[in-house]
Amino acid sequence: MIRTSDAQVYTGITTDMVRRWRQHESGKAGARYFRGRKPVELCYLEAGHNRATASQREYAIKSLSATAKKQLIATQLAYTRALIVLHQLEELPALMTTPTSKRPMCNTCSRPVRNCICALVSPIANRVEILILQHPAETTNAKNTAGLLHLSLKNSQLKIGEQFDAEDLDNWLFAEQKQPLLLYPEIPEYQALGLTAPQMLPAQNPAASHQLRLVIIDATWRKSRKMIYLNRVLQSLPRVMLTETPTSIYKIRKAHSENQLSTLEASCYALQQLEQQQVDYAPLLAAMGLFVAQQSAFVPLIDDQNELPNPFAPDERNPHL
């Protein structure tokens, strides 16, 4: 079976796969079916037939629905690949060249190579360290900005989990006797849930910014609340809230027409606030603009509709934004 340039699947029989492919491709002595379309990918093979059984099998496959053909191709991928190697057909454009199960991954950013974001990283020496607590669901979200944030900031840790081991979390939060601060908006549910009211952060001395550790929860709004509920130490941390969204960030937000701050934007802004503008995050915010454009090219827009609001979203629950 051969996938064609117009996304159809052609089924045929031959005694010489390479010769037959060339004929289909050139249009000389190829099947009539390939007039006006090209063979693109050898996607299914069976071998070991004689002329009679091959014809019967061809007829049976041609009678299948498009869905059933797709299923047949999908379930026999490994077998087809093995036959391609066995019959030395590697020179043909085939499933061999576009493996779906084993995408090459970048070791640095842990993303598929075609989606690698390493070129966007320009290191920034943030003074306030950040600790990103990432919900596991975010690790497979191609549009997640925490990875770019983490790779770009020199003083950054990223931990993945929903409920962390209490001792581990304590160590991450209080290591080197730094003061952890949680970036999180005020939520009215706090009192209803019976949670500890957070202390507000006293005005900071910029010289002390290297003694601070900003804790970021990278999750959807709903999951972030669950994480705060499950990891009770987070409830008692002094909290940082964003005061005013700077114009530069606002422009990028508008540019990718999302009504919310990404984790990267919210973190950069909180850092600027705590460091009293001592460090320039403009290159990172510009890189995010490129990242958004790059990812939009790969990710279907429908993904956005499944997203819950980001906890930093400037909605009615968070009047400070």
Q: How far apart are CA 307 and CA 189, in angstroms?
A: 21
Q: Return the closest-CA partner of residue 267 out of 151, 136, 161.
A: 151
What is the radius of gyration, based on Cα positions, of the chain? 27
**With binding defined as CB under 5 A, does residue 120 bind Zn ion?**
no
Give least dist CB 112 to Zn ion, A: 9
- Smallest distance, Å, CB 111 to Zn ion? 6
Nearer residue to Zn ion within complex by CB, 15 or 107 = 107
Torsion angle defined by CA atoms of residues 42, 46, 48 and 52, in that order, rounded to the nearest 10 degrees: -100
Task: Check: CB of residue 227 under 8 Å from CB of residue 162.
Answer: yes
Q: Is the CB of 14 or the CB of 108 nearer to Zn ion?
A: 108
| Nearest approach, Cβ of residue 148 and Zn ion (Å) | 10
Residue 116 within binding range of Zn ion, rule CB under 5 A: yes
With contacts defined by CB under 5 A, how many residues of the chain interact with Zn ion? Answer: 5
Q: Which is nearer to Zn ion, 118 or 175 (CB)?
A: 118
If one asks whether residue 153 binds Zn ion (CB under 5 A), the answer comes out as no
If one asks whether residue 183 binds Zn ion (CB under 5 A), the answer comes out as no
Query: Which position among 13, 54, 64, 106 is part of the footprint of Zn ion (CB under 5 A)?
Result: 106
Q: Is the Cα dihedral 199, 154, 278, 272 positive or negative?
A: negative
Task: Answer yes or no whether residue 108 interacts with Zn ion by CB under 5 A.
Answer: yes
Instruction: Output 13 or 160, the one with its CB closest to Zn ion.
Output: 160
Distance CA 321, CA 316 (A): 9
Q: Please, which of residues 230-249 interact with Zn ion by CB under 5 A?
A: none
When asked if residue 109 is in the footprint of Zn ion (CB under 5 A), the reply is yes
Residues 6+ apart with CB under 8 A from 82: none
CA distance 97 to 315: 47
The residues binding Zn ion (CB under 5 A) are 106, 108-109, 116, 118
